[in-house]
Structure 1
């Protein structure tokens, strides 16, 4: 009976990896869609990423403190309810076609996701046989990758209309007709997000009704460390140069990932003349490369030093983006698609290197590394501003610069031989 209960709990926790991966990877669909429906600049549309990722900066430590008091299950239920509520708000946001409303809804969605990620990554390793903990988290992460592919197809099919207006067509259209067109575009997000909201709410009920096995994770050293003031513990970690360089590297990585993904459809339209639906299909293929890269990278790490692999992959991505910036037509799009494959190992490898040898401070240090995800909130607007000022190809030098920062971190850690890859994103 206990074994069956564990299996249900593991299945539910694994589903969370799919849910947040699905929502996170709808942003590259929402950015061009809301840009059109709300008549935004590239800079304004990039605030979709800002509203999403700022939650990851603000919520990890509060989420950890909440779960310290109410447990993992309480944190997960709260996270799912926030997720469901935020998704439901897309319906009225589309009805009034208010961009600020959309951004507020996204912030609530991703606040929920911050709770889910803070809980699910450690919990999946703590439920069940400790000997199979690594296999469980790798299996769960594979659902995260599958979600990235499926969400892009879902968004391309049910959200993107394939109808775009040039600036000349927009200017020539009568105001009433233009308003009708834009309202129809905005309304296409309503039913997909209502469905997402309902599915997430059902999962929240299932988690609430499921009995989770008791977990004991704190060692004696961790319990002793947690009795000291939080400000003192954070201050010590902020003075840890290795950890802080890892936080910065994760800032660069998530910023690069967001920039590359969020503007891909825009890039494909401008550089290769693709329409938005075919561009979304190419993006889904690129995410498939990311998922394949996770499996292949995990296999290669059995035979090659993960840090050397990180150095190699980063150099390749710098070269690929420089080529994408200088090529034209479909060649530029195909080159850019290759970047996802070589991004696949970066988040978990940087994460694992960052928290290496933290001992009793590992959990709090991990929260600081997760806060580095705020790069996804700050760097896409910079890229959007450069795109508005120059063009989308030149703007892709922003993620290129991010990969240079990651290369600096990787080279600094070349002497590290044993790295236990513990998390992914």
Structure 2
């Protein structure tokens, strides 16, 4: 593993260690903007779901097709994205992802103009394809910019800025989408409601395009060990010819699948759950602003987790957080009023470190197969497509509150992975 992170592989010019560490810091600071943007965009889905559910008179199952199309892109695009990043390198891969994501945001304009749910789903798929390429490129890049021992801490720190994006997004969506839609319902024709998404997504398209231009010009360190494998030859590392021969990676992929599924399922149902008469009885725009606490908890938790994992083994921290999240979801299922409301919002604090910790634990000791492993893990993000859809079907059948038993099962597996499954 030491060879993978050896400084010489990032800087072949013989520059001193201090200079290399400075380039690490600059690269990490630059990458935080990406983590912020894709967190912001992903969390806006939680606002789109109740909005489009009302506009097109959807049931929960139909509304969850938003997450199915968005996270389904991870399943279809991750492996090609892994190959693309291996061929182009991390920096050009990041630029490509930003351009595609910008195009996806721009496609919201014609979707709103034609008032067609299918076009919204198509725009989300294109947007998510760009985000997938960003994930495949940026996560292992952060993992490799420093020592393997502090990889979990480093990835948690950058993911904290991802959580900052998810914290800001609900308020942004509540103000620019849900509150405007509420006014539209009373003051304009019903068909005009779909158009309120035009401005927010055109702004995002422009911001992503600017980021693509910036990253095309930046001078970032090159990870040689990950981009010298374009010959198509089989590479053997510690007796393994591929990432899937590592059990901790395979179990980590299952962990990513159930974690993203649980996180997205909870976030997707929050506005409607808080609107239930026996929970909060809140209007959509009010409930959307409260989601800030859910994602804000994730942001705070990642900063705390980044510090804690400098001293405590990442697997132990992961197991503790999974147990606490499962308990809180159970409380939200079995209670009502403020107790249920704040229990489900507090889950975000313990979700905080799960994705980056599972990701970095799963990529340990993969050597030249790291980029393949990253593609497999991003493939597993399809859990965000499948589990919310299952929870939507369950909610239509037995009720929104009872359907939260699915995330509890997910957290049980993550507890197992932290205790045992992540061991090499």
* TM bin (shorter chain): 0.7 to 0.9
Q: 1:7 offset after TM fit, Å?
A: 8.0
Q: Which residue of 2 aligns with 1:121?
A: 139
Q: In 1, distance between residues paired with 2:150 and 2:256?
A: 27
Q: How does 1:116-155 map to 2 (within 5 A)?
A: 116-124=134-142, 139-155=157-173
Q: 1:272 offset after TM fit, Å?
A: 1.9
Q: Which residue of 2 aligns with 1:160?
A: 178
Candidates 188, 195, 208, aligned match of 2:196: 188
Q: In 2, distance between residues paired with 1:244 and 1:70?
A: 26
Q: In 1, distance between residues paired with 2:107 and 2:240?
A: 35
Candidates 204, 208, 221, aligned match of 2:212: 204
Q: 1:136 offset after TM fit, Å?
A: 6.7
Q: 1:126 offset after TM fit, Å?
A: 6.1
Q: How does 1:166-315 map to 2 (within 5 A)?
A: 181-208=189-216, 210-213=217-220, 215-218=222-225, 223=229, 227-228=233-234, 236-270=242-276, 271-315=279-323
Are residues 1:342 and 2:350 paired?
yes
Q: In 1, distance between residues paired with 2:256 and 2:23?
A: 36
Are residues 1:366 and 2:384 paired?
no
On the 8 A contact 2:112/2:197 being kept in 1, the answer is yes
Q: In 2, distance between residues paired with 1:248 and 1:17?
A: 22
When residues 322 and 138 of structure 1 are mapped into structure 2, their CA distance, relative to the original with a 3 A threshold, is closer
Q: 1:361 offset after TM fit, Å?
A: 2.3
CA deviation map 1:1-37 (0-9, x unaligned): x999998765543321111111011111111111111
Q: Which residue of 1 aligns with 2:68?
A: 50
On the 8 A contact 2:148/2:364 being kept in 1, the answer is no
Q: Which residue of 2 aligns with 1:169?
A: none
Q: In 2, distance between residues paired with 1:14 and 1:367?
A: 20
On the 8 A contact 2:234/2:241 being kept in 1, the answer is no
Q: In 2, distance between residues paired with 1:179 and 1:35?
A: 19
On the 8 A contact 2:271/2:288 being kept in 1, the answer is yes
When residues 224 and 192 of structure 1 are mapped into structure 2, their CA distance, relative to the original with a 3 A threshold, is closer
On the 8 A contact 1:6/1:212 being kept in 2, the answer is no
Q: 1:139 offset after TM fit, Å?
A: 4.9
SS in 2 for 1:228: coil
Q: How does 1:25-40 map to 2 (within 5 A)?
A: 25-40=43-58
CA-based RMSD of the aligned residues comes to: 3.3
On the 8 A contact 1:126/1:215 being kept in 2, the answer is no
CA deviation map 1:180-218 (0-9, x unaligned): 64322211111111111111112222333x142451331
SS in 1 for 2:178: coil
Q: 1:409 offset after TM fit, Å?
A: 2.3
On the 8 A contact 1:289/1:341 being kept in 2, the answer is yes
Q: In 2, distance between residues paired with 1:133 and 1:344?
A: 16
Q: 1:91 offset after TM fit, Å?
A: 1.1
TM-score with structure 2 length normalisation? Answer: 0.84
Are residues 1:78 and 2:96 paired?
yes
